[in-house]
Amino acid sequence: MTDFHHQTLAELSAGLKARRFSSVELTRHFLARIERLNGELNALITVTGEQALAAAARADQQLAAGNAGPLTGLPIVHKDIFCTDGVLTTCGSRMLSNFVAPYDATVVERLSQAGVIMLGKANMDEFAMGSSNETSWYGPVKNPWNLKKVPGGSSGGSAAAVAARIAPAATGTDTGGSIRQPAALTSLTGLKPTYGRVSRYGMIAFASSLDQAGTLTLSAQDSAMLLGAMAGFDPRDSTSVDAPVPDYLATLDQPLAGLKIGLLKEFFDQGLDEANGKLVRDALKVYETLGAKLVEVSLPNLPLSVPTYYVVAPAECSSNLSRFDGVRFGHRCENPHDLLDLYKRSRGEGFGAEVKRRIMTGTYVLSAGYYDAYYLRAQKVRRLITDDFAQAFQSVDVLMGPTSPTPAFDIGAKVDDPITMYLNDIYTIGANLAGLPAMSIPCGLLDGLPVGLQIIGPHFSEGRLLSVAHGYQRETQWHRQIPQGYE
Amino acid sequence: MSLTRKDVENIAHLARLAITEAETPVYVDSLSKILSFVEQLNTADTKQVEPMAHPLKDQVQRLRADQVADVDQHHKYQRNAARVEAGLYLVPKVIE
């Protein structure tokens, strides 16, 4: 039996290059694991086996001809929020349960040009609105560390797929923590780049000033490999930043001696499970032994992140999701008696409860008479939070703290109380509001469930963040832990 | 902040969402809770603060020349529509 699924992208890439195995063999191996294990996990909505094998055969030709890149022939899964030409793209919603995307998202196009093979499309919270992957029209995703627990969300299918080793890596998106929180809950390396670093073109919009695409992988090195291919200017995204993409692999081994780490006081104060906090502090000690200096920093406005987010994100969502009108694409109700009925019933039937709740919250905070009290005020507090981060980065290189207040919780435990669910994102939302790059890396297990360490850096510091994560992963083995039953 | 049933019905109408009789009280309750929760924002002093619309400083929306940049693919796009005829999207009659 081969152990392809124990290997990182970097290791698999070396094996392909040395012709120890072919991309077709590799792809078959993961497709067989998907076939065997996806039923219990519900991690993938669509499996694109035939296309994957055809792409793998092409990759093998390139490898044989000697014109392959580092990613040629490596299989991954894409979160089902990315449009994929000719392939069902549901965004986890009944609204798009019949939507075959007519083009590729830039992320998909760039990875495919780099030779990456798509195994399938990953389950997710409906329209990326959720922190537990329970709002999906396609049903909840199970956490491979314990099938009774949530994998986190909204990129829960991506996380479960990589954690269970049915795919060696996955794309995800992060609007309020949707890459980092599931990465923490499933023992993966999750990276949310700087806002504007990766194109949003073809990525179904939730909250446009917050959405950013990133990766869920087994190591920081793998994140660096994928980000290098995904990032960069795209004229088709009006907020894409026109700045060169550094060689993230070249700077991975930067020494950590003298690194100034700011410990986020508010994160350790606020609602943090004690045992969870201890594992995070243990990880910080590893950084100290590597020569980093720890200082406590306070971001006084940070506790207002969650309320700020739950005004800004629903407002943008209500506007973005107005495009689903039952006319041009998406679900359409039966026998509408007039246009208003067509809109209302198509949307009422097509959207699930949480999506409707956020659309209505957004509609309310943007409505006449309430705009100043809610939306404008939230935009002002957003600036206060962003300024707090900027000030902290004058004295420290990176900020660290927990990714999530607790390890994975039971499926069903928080579905009836939106506020309790929203508070799962208490540590991750700040980076989205300020547009900062941030990562979560595995730093231990609590009663058999993974815990994540969060690292936040200044704008466009992905290279530094990846090296900080890589430095820890050279000293520790948490990122190589495999959940029982998926070895 | 406490919303009434009528408030929620009005919001749902503005958002063009049909919600059922059974759903309405659930939204009255949860939307009221969310609006009360975000009232914490009033504790911040925002008098001298400029609202922030974009997370990166000095970013401007790019403009491009007003030229045709794409090919006509409406047949491909319309494959996702529920009802199409002669290249047009069909909806219930709007003008009597």
Overall pTM > 0.90: yes
Does residue A429 have a pLDDT over 60? yes
B37 exposed, middle or buried (CB, 10 Å; 0-12, 13-18, 19+)? Answer: middle
Does residue A272 have a pLDDT over 90? no
Q: What is the pLDDT of residue A2?
A: 73
Does residue A247 have a pLDDT over 80? yes
Q: HSE (CB half, 13 Å, CA atoms) of B25?
A: 2
- What the block records as the tokens of A98 is 């019949």
Q: What is the pLDDT of residue A282?
A: 96
B77 lies within 8 A of chain A by CB: yes
The answer to whether A170 and A216 are in contact (CB under 8 A) is: yes
B75 lies within 8 A of chain A by CB: no
Q: What is the pLDDT of residue A392?
A: 98
A77 exposed, middle or buried (CB, 10 Å; 0-12, 13-18, 19+)? Answer: buried
From CA A351, how far away is CA A324, in angstroms rounded? 10
Q: What is the pLDDT of residue B38?
A: 95
> Using N-to-C axis directions, what is the helix angle for A305-320 and A353-366, rounded to 10°?
100
Does residue A416 have a pLDDT over 90? no
Segment A86-115 mean pLDDT: 98
**Strands A449-456 vs A438-446: parallel, antiparallel or unpaired:** antiparallel
Q: How far is B9 from chain A (nearest CA, A)?
A: 10
What is the predicted ipTM? Answer: 0.96
Does residue A368 have a pLDDT over 70? yes
Which of A84, A364, A426 to probe by mutation at the B interface, max B CB count within 10 Å? A364
Q: What is the pLDDT of residue A144?
A: 98
Q: How many CB atoms lie within 10 A of CB A395?
A: 10
Q: What is the pLDDT of residue A296?
A: 96
From CA A226, how far away is CA A117, in angstroms rounded? 12
Contact residues for A429 (Cβ-Cβ < 8 A; gap 6+): A176, A177, A305, A306, A308, A309
Does residue A44 have a pLDDT over 70? yes
Nearest to A332 among B33, B59, B82 (CB): B82
Does residue A73 have a pLDDT over 90? yes
The answer to whether A7 and A221 are in contact (CB under 8 A) is: no
Distances (CA, A) of A470 to A172, A321, A481: 20, 38, 16
The answer to whether A438 and B55 are in contact (CB under 8 A) is: no
Contact residues for B58 (Cβ-Cβ < 8 A; gap 6+): none
Does residue A262 have a pLDDT over 80? yes
Does residue B96 have a pLDDT over 80? no
Give the pLDDT band of residue B58 (cuts 50, 70, 90). Answer: confident
Q: What is the pLDDT of residue B39?
A: 95
Segment A429-442 mean pLDDT: 98
Q: What is the dihedral of CA B19, B21, B25, B30, to 10 degrees?
A: -20
Does residue A241 have a pLDDT over 60? yes
Segment B69-80 mean pLDDT: 92
In 3D, which of A292, A259, A210, A268 has the Cα closest to residue A403? A268
Give the pLDDT band of residue B95 (cuts 50, 70, 90). Answer: confident
Segment A200-221 mean pLDDT: 97
In 3D, which of A444, A440, A450, A439 has the Cα closest to residue A477? A444
Q: What is the pLDDT of residue A309?
A: 97
Which of B17, B21, B37 to probe by mutation at the A interface, max A CB count within 10 Å? B17
Phi-psi region of A326 (alpha: psi -120 to 50; beta: other; left: phi over 0): left
Give the pLDDT band of residue A341 (cuts 50, 70, 90). Answer: very high
Does residue A72 have a pLDDT over 60? yes
Segment A9-14 mean pLDDT: 98
Residues of B in contact with A434 (CB under 8 A): 55
Q: Summarize pLDDT for A143-159 with one digit per residue, the tens.
A: 999 999 999 999 999 99
State chain B's mean pLDDT as an integer.
92
- What the block records as the tokens of A486 is 């998926």
The answer to whether the peptide bond before residue A187 is cis (omega within 30 degrees of 0) is no
- What the block records as the tokens of A447 is 């009663």
Give the pLDDT band of residue B1 (cuts 50, 70, 90). Answer: confident
Phi, psi for A149 (deg, rounded to 5) = -105, 160
**Strands A260-264 vs A293-297: parallel, antiparallel or unpaired:** parallel
What's A136's DSSP letter?
A: -
A251 exposed, middle or buried (CB, 10 Å; 0-12, 13-18, 19+)? Answer: middle
From CA A1, how far away is CA A286, in angstroms rounded? 36
From CA A417, how far away is CA A101, in angstroms rounded? 34
Residues of B in contact with A367 (CB under 8 A): 11, 14
Q: How many CB atoms lie within 10 A of CB A478?
A: 19
Q: B50–A380: do the CB atoms touch at under 8 Å?
A: yes
Phi, psi for A443 (deg, rounded to 5) = -135, 20
Q: What is the pLDDT of residue B59?
A: 77
From CA A423, how far away is CA A272, in angstroms rounded? 11
Segment A93-101 mean pLDDT: 98
From CA A378, how far away is CA A424, in angstroms rounded? 20
Enumerate residues 280 to 309 of chain A having a beta carbon within 8 A of any beta carbon in chain B. 301, 304, 306-308
What's A82's DSSP letter?
A: B
Does residue A271 have a pLDDT over 80? no
DSSP letters spanning chain B: ----HHHHHHHHHHTT----TTHHHHHHHHHHHHHHHGGGGGGS--TTPPP---SSTT-------SS--S---HHHHHTT-S-EETTEE--S----
Does residue A1 have a pLDDT over 70? no
A436: closest chain B residue by CA:
B55
Enumerate residues 36 to 55 of chain B having a beta carbon within 8 A of any beta carbon in chain A. 37-44, 46, 49-55
Q: What is the pLDDT of residue B54?
A: 84
Amino acid at site A426: I
Segment A296-314 mean pLDDT: 96
State chain A's mean pLDDT as an integer.
96
Does residue A82 have a pLDDT over 60? yes
Give the pLDDT band of residue A101 (cuts 50, 70, 90). Answer: very high
Q: What is the pLDDT of residue B64?
A: 84
Segment B64-86 mean pLDDT: 92
